[in-house]
């Protein structure tokens, strides 16, 4: 039992986030972790908040479930985390499609539209 306790068994958990187009800023559970494509280690399975932000695209906010493999379900997880003589690697990869946001008109364009609407309002029906 003492010999088994000294063995280096553990599970390495890695989460990869990809986006189309790449280069989006990634926030995982409120913490910035990089730009897509990016990979980060994580500790807990379950639901995580993923936020992707990129100029010219709508911000994508989703609750992503990261399922636990069979060897990480209690009480089996005790053995895989502590007693295996080798390391297990568990990888999860998620892909997201960003939607382009409507273009914002220039300041001069907004002024021109406002002046036209003002003129039409003064003219009446």
Q: What is the pLDDT of residues 91-109, one digit of tens each?
A: 999 999 999 987 766 678 7
Alpha carbon distances (Å) from 52 to 40, 45, 71, 106, 111: 15, 20, 31, 25, 32
Q: CATH code at 46? A: 2.60.40
Contact 62, 50 (CB under 8 A): yes
| Per-residue pLDDT band at 82 (split at 50, 70, 90) | confident
Q: H helices within 6-106, ranges in order? A: 76-82
Q: How many domains does the chain have?
A: 1
pLDDT of 4 higher than 60: no
> Could you list the residue range(s) of the whole structural domain that residue 105 is in?
2-123
Q: Which comes out higher in pLDDT, residue 93 or 89?
A: 93
Alpha carbon distances (Å) from 37 to 7, 14, 88, 95: 34, 13, 23, 9
Q: H helices within 2-106, ranges in order? A: 2-5, 76-82
The whole-angstrom separation of Cα 10 and Cα 85 is 8
Q: Which comes out higher in pLDDT, residue 38 or 6?
A: 38
Q: What is the mean pLDDT of residues 48-62?
A: 96
Predicted structure pTM score = 0.71
């Amino acid at each position: 039992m003492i010999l088994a306790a000294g063995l280096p068994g553990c599970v390495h958990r890695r989460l990869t986030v990809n986006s189309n187009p790449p280069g989006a800023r990634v926030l995982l559970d409120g913490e910035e972790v990089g730009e897509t494509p990016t990979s980060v280690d994580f500790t807990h399975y379950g639901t995580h908040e993923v936020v992707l932000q990129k100029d010219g695209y709508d911000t994508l906010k989703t609750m992503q479930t990261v399922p636990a493999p069979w060897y990480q379900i209690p009480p089996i997880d005790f053995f895989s985390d502590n007693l295996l003589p080798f390391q297990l690697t568990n990888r999860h990869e998620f892909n997201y499609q960003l939607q382009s946001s409507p273009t914002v008109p220039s300041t001069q364009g907004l002024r021109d539209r406002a002046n036209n609407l003002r003129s039409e309002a003064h003219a009446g029906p």
